[in-house]
Amino acid sequence: MHYKKVRFEICNRSGESDLSISFEFEPDNRLCVYRVDGPVTPGRLLEAFGKAIASPGWSDDYNFLTLLNKISLADLSHEAIDHLMSVMEENDTAKPSGSKRLAAIVSEDPACDGILIYWEHQAAKKLKTQERVFRSERLAREWLASV
């Protein structure tokens, strides 16, 4: 399937090592795709989410695919996740035309399992999106397309 992608990069800040966050829109797939490489901080994630929403081409009807690659979730404590979700919930003013939006998170790193299981559990209670964690991009895209 051919679709037009709009891609944005969020550059590293001075003193942040190996962090790269980018996002792109896939309008034909109704997706905003985030690619996160390196050590993750709640502030940088919120910055990326905010820039995506403010970007030309954004749609409140987009679902989300977040690809975590070579990342460290060591700085994401349960308290940090709860705070991140609270800020996300407060700032989620989207008015999708259909049902609840979907968010798939992909991580192939078993070391991230614990924190991502916590994320998925808390998201069900706190966020306006239905969140699921996957081991592969293919499985995540299949779920996003099937629901």
Q: Does 140 have pLDDT greater than 70? A: yes
Q: Select 6-146's CATH number: 3.30.750.24, 3.30.300.30, 2.60.40.10, 3.30.390.30.
A: 3.30.750.24
Q: What tens digit of pLDDT does each residue of 25-60 get?
A: 999 999 999 998 877 778 888 888 888 888 888 888
Question: How many whole angstroms from its chain centre is CA 19?
Answer: 15
Q: Hunting for tokens 């966020």 — which residue is that?
A: 127
pTM for the model: 0.84
**In Å, what is the CA distance from 52 to each residue of 28, 47, 78?**
17, 9, 25
Mean pLDDT value across residues 14-34: 82
Mean pLDDT over the full length of the chain? 82
Q: Which of 15, 89, 23, 90 is closest to 51 using CA atoms?
A: 23
Residue-level pLDDT at 76? 76
pLDDT tens string 65-114: 999 988 777 667 888 888 888 888 887 776 666 677 899 999 988 888 88
Q: What would the mean pLDDT of 115-120 be, rounded to a whole number?
A: 91
Closest CA relative to residue 147, chosen from 132, 127, 125: 132
